């Protein structure tokens, strides 16, 4: 892991965990603020992917497009192609969730689906990170 920034990795992970904590709490509210949940799911996924880029020693681009971030991690060697669908679903929530004229309705079902997508990205990223960190320790 030449150039790996483990401290930045940890910071990105901590920020992502804050977003998921917010998601968990907001999903228990009545009524559920679905657009806010979707926004935080996108943000968490974005931060997990940027954390992985830090482990690869790559700077995180200042973008919200999760598909581009998945592609960037794949270029580094991560096998995350299976995350393109959840990435595609979450990407729109970075901006659309903040405006009243969003092209779709933010429902509780959509919020729960967004949470599942964010958790899938978290799981995959942490799995790759665990392997990278283990390889680094044994080197």
Residue 84: C-alpha distances to residues 80, 87, 95 (Å): 8, 5, 19
CATH architecture group of domain 6-138 = Up-down Bundle (1.20)
Mean pLDDT of the chain: 94
How far apart are alpha carbons 115 and 128 in whole angstroms? 20
For the cut 80, the answer to whether the pLDDT of residue 17 exceeds it is: yes
Residues 114 and 40: beta-carbon distance below 8 Å: no
The model carries a pTM of: 0.94
- CA 42-125-40 angle, 5° bins: 15
pLDDT digits (tens, 9 = 90+) for 67-77: 999 999 999 99
CB 128 within 8 A of CB 80: yes
Q: What is the DSSP letter of 28?
A: T
């Amino acid at each position: 892991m030449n150039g790996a920034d483990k401290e930045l990795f940890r910071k990105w992970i901590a920020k992502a965990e804050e977003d998921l904590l917010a998601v968990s709490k907001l999903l228990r509210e009545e009524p559920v603020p679905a657009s806010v949940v979707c926004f935080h799911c996108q943000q968490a996924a974005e931060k997990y992917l940027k954390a992985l880029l830090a482990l690869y020693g790559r700077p995180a681009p200042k973008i919200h497009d999760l598909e581009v971030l998945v592609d960037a991690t794949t270029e580094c060697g991560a096998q995350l192609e299976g995350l393109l669908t959840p990435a595609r679903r979450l990407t729109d929530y970075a901006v659309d969730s903040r405006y009243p004229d969003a092209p779709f309705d933010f429902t509780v079902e959509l919020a729960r689906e967004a949470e599942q997508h964010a958790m899938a990205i978290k799981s995959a990223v942490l799995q790759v990170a665990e392997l990278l960190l283990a390889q680094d320790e044994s080197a």
